[in-house]
Structure 1
Amino acid sequence: MNTHPVRWDALLFGFLFTLVVAGWAAVTYDLVSVDALAIAGPVALIIAGVAGIALTLRRTS
């Protein structure tokens, strides 16, 4: 069986998609308010961006 390398861009996109679905479910089931989600969304995007930059720098070094 051959192992394939991890595609970090696909992994980050999947993580972002999971966060969007989790946010939608949390608002739908009244687990969190929209105001709290307005703070959590940008924080998640910043974390994903920093992870992407770190992985890019790691690959080029």
Structure 2
Amino acid sequence: MNRHPFRWLELTLGIVLLAAVGSWAVWHEDLLTPRQLSLSAAGVLIVLGIVGIAATLRGARPSTTSPSPAPTVTTPTVEGDSHEEAHPLP
């Protein structure tokens, strides 16, 4: 199983969507006071920072798959001038 590259665009769009929904929930539905919102945002940022530090310290995952066999190398054959289809004469 191959590790896929990180996609920054999807992360950015997800954060923007989450911010828009959070803003709507806070201001239009009165789910949180501004004080509760600031404490929640700080808590989320702290947790994300801890997760980032843990992921950095963990390092790269070792490969669990068996090594693939070496590719076979074929030597090209010398065709010479016997194939005129490849190099037609004028």
- The alignment's TM-score, normalised by the length of structure 1, stands at 0.61
Alignment of 1:12-23 (within 5 A): 16-17=15-16, 19-23=18-22
Q: In the alignment, which residue of structure 1 is the partner of 2:32?
A: 32
Greater share of helix: 1
Tell me the distance in 2 between the aligned counterparts of 1:7 and 1:41. Answer: 24
- Kindly report the root-mean-square deviation, in angstroms, between the aligned alpha carbons of the 2 structures: 3.3
Match of 2:48 in 1: 48
Structure 1 position 7 matched with structure 2 position 6: yes
Deviant stretches of 4+, over 4 Å: 8-19
2:59 alignment partner, SS class? helix
User: Aligned partners of 1:7, 1:22: CA distance in 2, in Å?
Assistant: 24
Contact 1:16/1:48 (8 A) holds in 2: no
Per-residue deviation, residues 1-52 of structure 1 (Å, max 9, x unmatched): xx65262877876665555334312212211111111110100000010111
Aligned residues: 59
CA 1:10–1:37 in 2, change beyond 3 Å: closer, same or farther?
Answer: same
Structure 2: 5+ residue runs without aligned partners?
A: 62-90
* Secondary structure, aligned partner of 1:27: helix
SS in 2 for 1:35: helix
Q: Which has the larger radius of gyration?
A: 2
Q: TM-score, normalised by structure 2?
A: 0.45
Q: Structure 1 vs Structure 2: percent identity of aligned residues?
A: 29
Pick 1 or 2: higher relative contact order, CA cutoff 8 A, min separation 6: 1
